[in-house]
Every structure is written in C-alpha cells, then in structure tokens.
Structure 1
Amino acid sequence: MPAAAIAFAAYPFEVQRGDFVHAEGAYRQVIDMRHAWPGSKSLIFRDNTVWLMSQQHVIYRPVLPDDQ
C-alpha cells in the first residue's frame, strides 16, 4: 500500500482502478473490475486474484502530490 493514501468506506460502484483493498489478509491493488450482479463488482487485483465486493468496504485511495 502506498505511504500516502486516504482510507474511506466505499460501495462497489465507488471503487476505481489503482485503489487498494484489504482482502484475504493482504492489501491488494485493483487493476480491473467487472460487474457481477446488481450492486456488486468482481475486483481483479495486481496479483491476479479476484474478489467479489458486494457491500460497503474500506478502501485506500493513493494521494498524488499537488504538482502532478
């Protein structure tokens, strides 16, 4: 997980590529996602694991410096 990240509770529709999620005992970076069923998403992580997000969960969004 990046040193500079904002943690917040997000619903599946709020997750973006590049976000980090604590799932299955590790912080994993989202590289892609697919709709699963209404209100849910399958998150695809950098390590090629897939996790179904069907409810609100804490995610960590990296913060970019102001000059970028």
Structure 2
Amino acid sequence: MSEQENHDVALHAQLRLFCRLMLGSADAADCVIRQIHRRALDDHDEHPSERARLFRIAADLCGVRR
C-alpha cells in the first residue's frame, strides 16, 4: 500500500470515528461518510488541507455548531 493510500485509509477511519461519536451510531456514521464524499466533490471552499475540508463537512452533517 502506498503512502497516499495509507493516508486516505487513516483519514477515512478518523472521519468515521468522529461521525460515530457525534451521532452515536455506526450505521448513521456510515451514511454520513457517503454524504461527506458526495459533498466534497461539489465543495470548492478554500481550506488549508483536504482533512480540514472533510472535517468541516462532517461537522456540518453531524450538527456540530461553531
């Protein structure tokens, strides 16, 4: 597995854990993960990193207030 693939797997696991903790359900977290990836395709906001952008989307979908 390449370094990029390892990074992607780790980021996916972190996002899933965040969503599971925020929503209290593994099934709900899996659903939100799919929505995150769909939104990320359409999201063109400028963020310092892909991680920051994906976690912002995750927080929005999980109802975390800023």
TM-score normalised by length of structure 2? 0.27
Q: Which has the higher contact order (CA 8 A, sep 6+)?
A: 1
| Structure whose residues are more often helix by fraction | 2
| Structure whose residues are more often strand by fraction | 1
TM-score normalised by length of structure 1? 0.27
